[in-house]
Amino acid sequence: MLRSPLPGVTAALHAKENSRAKKWREMAVIRKRGERGEEGGKGGGTEWGFVTVDPKLISRTWKGIPDCWRAAAWHAFLTASAKRRGIGRSDAELVTIYTDFIERPSADDVQIDLDVPRTISSHIMFRRRYHGGQRLLFRTLHALSLYFQDVGYVQGMASLAATLLCYYDEETAFIMLVRMFELRGLEKLYQAGFGGLMQALEEFEGGWMRGGQISRRLTSLGVTPTAYGTRWYLTLFNYSMPFAAQLRVWDVFMLLGDPDPASSAIAPAFSGSLDVLHATSAALIDGMKEILLKSDFEGSMKVLTSWIPVKDEELLMKVVKAEWKGRRKRRAKSAGSISGGVEGLGGASPALQ
């Protein structure tokens, strides 16, 4: 359990968590025990897979992955995405690259060394300078800066790596980061000059916020998504909400962060791959509606840039799911209308055929 239960309900919560874990075990597919060739990184142990298009799996992921299954599920989701899309190297190749990179210097090492002690320093794993988690965090970020040389190291990456190191060894954390960058749009978000980040925030403002009451209020105050969304998107909400709530968002993002086929003409920048992040942002802002509508510029900025004390993760994810599903349905309808319009033109224009 990630929360500290109140006295008297511990047994019931443990029973519920154990029941959920058994259901996930029933959905899991065992790969060859101890095999870490094309399927895994360095080390042994059992490899697990999931049928990522199974409606039952998707439904249960929205409800939250049991923490004992989270590492296996995240890895399986991204592995399946990589195979389906034909993107990226195998785990074994990435481990070999990682082993080579940690012996090489990086131009970003000084900045990484400055940022590592400031990353989740309250967590017991990252408290001691040059020891334990801090050492692993440095090595992982060092290798990532060499792997994506056009991007290099950017400060928000440290929180992503720290989260993954809570669940994986350093080699697998590196694998997961590479796949998140390649398959979940993070490479574009972090690209030099942050042009991709600006596109993502414009996509959120234009496609998810425009026309609403809160949007009109924030626009009148001069509060744009760049003022609060930069940290949300670059850290995947790591510094913005409780860790348990962040993990729930990551659960869905890992599974459903592939491009939406219906979005290529409507949202070409990221093709819908950031829909989970957009839906989460919309849900958080909706939860602040009463405060934002009454606040001035300073008050709005304080609310939007402060840590958000999510008290009910289930309610948050229900709103995120509603936002996500609603957007996907509207996009599919719009794509169908565009397709129908083109078909209706018949052979009038060779350029449209």
What local confidence, expressed as pLDDT, does residue 44 receive? Answer: 52
Intervals of the chain under pLDDT 50: 1-2, 4-5, 35-43, 341-353
Task: Give the position of tokens 């090492």.
Answer: 109
Q: Is 2 exposed, middle or buried (0-12, 13-18, 19+ CB in 10 A)?
A: middle
Q: How far apart are CA 107 and CA 121, in angstroms?
A: 24
User: How far apart (Å, rounded) are the C-alpha atoms in residues 299 and 217?
Assistant: 12
Entry pTM: 0.88
Question: What is the rounded CA–CA span in Å between residue 113 and residue 100?
Answer: 20
Burial of 246 (0-12, 13-18, 19+ CB in 10 A): buried
Find all residues with CB under 8 Å of 48, minimum gap 6, and list them: 28, 29, 30, 31, 72, 73, 75, 76
pLDDT in tens, 230-268: 999 999 999 899 999 999 999 999 999 999 887 665 556
Instruction: Return the pLDDT at 344.
Output: 38
Structural domains for the chain: 88-184 (1.10.8.270), 189-260+268-330 (1.10.472.80)
pLDDT at 131: 62
